[in-house]
């Protein structure tokens, strides 16, 4: 049996000898590489933290101690070490392991974590809670108490929330360990002054000499009294770390951590297990906040992932030919992301006032194709969505036409800025909302389920959705010329349908829908779909095969909705089915009902389809659409119920209970 096969709990790991741990690391890498090549998933980030994850579980007891992740996509080794190896085959599906920490899977996962910057703050909260309950580690009063560790990686330390957390962590009067996993990467190459500081540290003398004595100079550096006291209590390994930091004190590159009140030591080699174990064992006994700077290689152990960590950050299924050193990534068609990149390139070529930005997602949003062409008019701000939104507001204020390419799930992090600095000022900032709706294997942490609901509250906002590539291009062109306020276009993590490719795509007109079935004079049911569900509605109409007369509309706008169309249909007594890949709460369907009631019309014949008021977990996107009842079959069922009064009392097909993981049911 392999070493990995023997590990059912971290206690089994701690029963291994130190000499066996590199073999275990190799087995974990092999398991992750094999699974991700078959199903896709986060590859390079997890390969980079294998040794660090092993060392953490070897030194700490996270059945009692607290381990909190910042960017949760680095959790695969942690999950394999906490008894979930048998769930790896079902990675990113409801039958197996989630791609992010999931408390429903295991008590070793404390939070479902999909957004960056949260780890330090949640760890501070748990540290304070344990202290209030008398459960916190104290070397004298409670040596068996709980320790708290947070693992911060992929450049998420630059996130504003992380800074707020660090500022508060420094006020703790107890053990608190922040591990800074510095791999020189975010999703893409990290941006900003802090990233440049880390680059300088990686090549500085402190990284090569950990054994120089420093007692004589401790009093001459910032935080010297704190360091001197810590040095007095520290073991030899930690003294070496402190010494190394002090010896290079003139650079001051990472001393800013100490202004937060956190002792900073390192960097150390994040792939040297004996060194990691030695340093963590001593850091474990500290009774005050500390930052341990660990240097790792993203994609470690897999040549093509090390060479191109951005592409292999979270690749789909792929194959590798060692003979030719060629990696083939499977693709099912042209993605909306690729179409969005070309749409932005088009407007930037035609209008030199158009500028664009992304927040650490150039590859995920297609901006990596745009930035080399227009390097002076495009920016990657790093994992800083709030800053990016405000920067776009500043650009709009100076007369430019800014486009912000951002995942829908990350947009909500910048909603305050969209409200205060954009909408309240009447500034025309344009949002390209990638990954809108259900996202497949990334699951609940990444679903773009609430962008319409939050942006609808902003006066003069124009909220659009694309159904295919021509409509996406038309929406971007509309946004380019829309100057009354914030505008957005949403599109899914999916391939573009070519069903309507032969049809002319009319220009977007504010608040007007597009009829996709012009030959139906007076329908039995009208389906108004916001975004790509319009294609599913056409498929549903085909499935009904003339059973009912069905008109299908591409609604185009969730704000403002097509009030004239609503009035016409309801006054004619035509039932309306609204469909959206968005929460049923506060979405496009709600906007339709609001408009009908404002016009004094009977809204009782409007049926809403959308994402339920419950969490949909990881699975293929097609499976998730079916679960929500917004695939072709689900829309066809809703059309029947809307058209035939005798069908209205018929319950829809029961959906599986997805609120818990299979591991806990």
What is the set of active-site residues?
298, 385, 413
The strand pair at 176-182 and 148-153 is best described as: parallel
Rounded CA separation 102/663 (Å): 11
**Residue of 531, 491, 163, 129 whose CA lies nearest to 339:** 491
State how far Cα 258 lies from the chain centre.
29
**Residue of 69, 53, 72 whose CA lies nearest to 10:** 53
Cis-peptide, bond into residue 560, ω within 30° of zero: yes
Rounded CA separation 307/295 (Å): 17
Report helix, strand or coil for 420: helix
For residue 186 the two structure tokens come to: 């975010």
- The residues, ordered by sequence, that sit 6+ positions from 1 with a Cβ below 8 Å of its Cβ are none
Q: Phi/psi of residue 600, each to 5°?
A: 70, 25
For residue 56 the two structure tokens come to: 């953490």
Strand ranges (E), 65-182: 66-69, 148-153, 176-182
Cis-peptide, bond into residue 97, ω within 30° of zero: no
Sign of CA dihedral 125, 126, 129, 134: negative
Rounded CA separation 125/136 (Å): 12
Sheet holding 525-530, edge to edge: 514-515, 550-554, 525-530, 576-583, 606-611
Cβ-contact 518, 358 below 8 angstroms: no
């Amino acid at each position: 049996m392999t070493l990995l096969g023997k590990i059912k709990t971290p206690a089994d790991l701690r029963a291994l000898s130190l000499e066996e741990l590199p073999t275990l690391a190799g087995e974990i890498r092999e398991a992750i590489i094999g699974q991700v090549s078959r199903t896709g998933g986060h590859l390079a980030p997890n390969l980079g933290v294998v040794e660090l994850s092993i060392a953490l579980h070897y030194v700490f007891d996270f059945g009692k101690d607290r381990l909190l992740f910042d960017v949760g996509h680095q959790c695969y080794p942690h999950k394999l070490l906490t008894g979930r190896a048998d769930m790896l085959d079902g990675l990113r599906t409801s039958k197996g392991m989630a791609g992010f920490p999931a408390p429903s899977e295991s008590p070793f996962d404390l939070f479902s974590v999909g957004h960056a910057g949260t780890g330090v703050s949640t760890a501070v909260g748990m540290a304070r809670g344990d202290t209030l309950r008398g459960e916190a580690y104290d070397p004298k009063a409670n040596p068996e108490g709980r320790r708290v560790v947070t693992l911060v990686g992929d450049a998420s330390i630059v996130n504003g929330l992380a800074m707020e957390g660090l500022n508060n962590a420094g006020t703790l009067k107890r053990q608190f360990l922040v591990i800074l996993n510095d791999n020189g990467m975010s999703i893409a190459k990290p941006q900003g002054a802090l990233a440049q500081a880390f680059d300088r540290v990686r090549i500085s003398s402190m990284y090569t000499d950990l054994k120089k004595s420093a007692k004589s100079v401790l009093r001459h550096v910032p935080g010297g009294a704190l360091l001197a006291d810590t040095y007095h209590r520290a073991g030899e390994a930690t003294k070496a770390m402190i010494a190394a930091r002090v010896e290079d004190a003139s650079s001051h590159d990472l001393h800013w951590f100490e202004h937060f009140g956190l002792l900073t030591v390192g960097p150390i080699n994040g792939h040297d297990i004996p060194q990691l174990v030695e340093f963590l064992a001593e850091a474990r006994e500290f009774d005050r906040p500390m930052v341990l700077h660990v240097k790792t290689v993203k994609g470690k152990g897999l040549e093509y992932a090390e060479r191109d960590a951005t592409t292999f950050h979270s690749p789909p299924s792929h194959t590798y030919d060692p003979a030719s050193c060629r990696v083939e990534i499977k693709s099912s068609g042209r993605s909306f992301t690729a179409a969005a990149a070309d749409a932005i390139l088009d407007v930037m070529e035609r209008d030199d006032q158009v500028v664009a930005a992304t927040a650490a997602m150039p590859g995920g949003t297609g901006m990596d194709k745009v930035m080399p062409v227009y390097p002076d008019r495009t920016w990657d701000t790093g994992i800083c969505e709030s800053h990016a939104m405000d920067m776009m507001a500043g650009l709009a204020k100076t007369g430019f036409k800014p486009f912000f390419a951002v995942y829908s799930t990350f947009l909500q992090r910048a909603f305050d800025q969209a409200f205060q600095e954009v909408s309240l000022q009447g500034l025309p900032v344009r949002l390209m909302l990638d990954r809108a709706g259900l996202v497949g294997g990334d699951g609940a942490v990444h679903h773009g389920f609430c962008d319409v609901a939050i942006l609808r509250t902003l006066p003069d906002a124009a909220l659009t959705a694309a159904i295919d590539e021509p409509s996406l291009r038309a929406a971007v062109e509309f946004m380019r010329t829309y100057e009354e306020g914030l505008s957005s276009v949403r599109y899914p993590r999916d391939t573009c349908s070519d069903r309507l490719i032969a049809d002319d795509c009319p220009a977007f007109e504010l608040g007007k829908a597009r009829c996709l079935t012009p030959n139906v004079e007076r329908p039995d049911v009208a389906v108004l779909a916001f975004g790509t569900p319009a294609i599913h509605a056409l498929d549903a109409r085909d499935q009904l095969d003339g059973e009912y007369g069905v008109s299908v509309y591409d609604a185009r706008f969730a704000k403002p909705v097509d009030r004239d169309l609503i009035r016409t249909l309801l006054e004619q007594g035509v039932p309306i089915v609204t469909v959206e890949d968005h929460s049923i709460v506060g979405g496009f369907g709600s906007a339709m009902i609001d408009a009908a009631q404002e016009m004094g019309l009977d809204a009782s014949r409007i049926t809403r389809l959308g994402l339920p008021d419950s969490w949909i977990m990881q699975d293929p996107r097609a499976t998730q659409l079916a679960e929500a009842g917004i695939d072709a079959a689900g829309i066809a069922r809703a059309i029947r119920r809307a058209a035939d009064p005798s069908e209205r009392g018929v319950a829809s097909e029961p959906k599986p209970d997805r609120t818990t993981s299979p591991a806990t049911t």
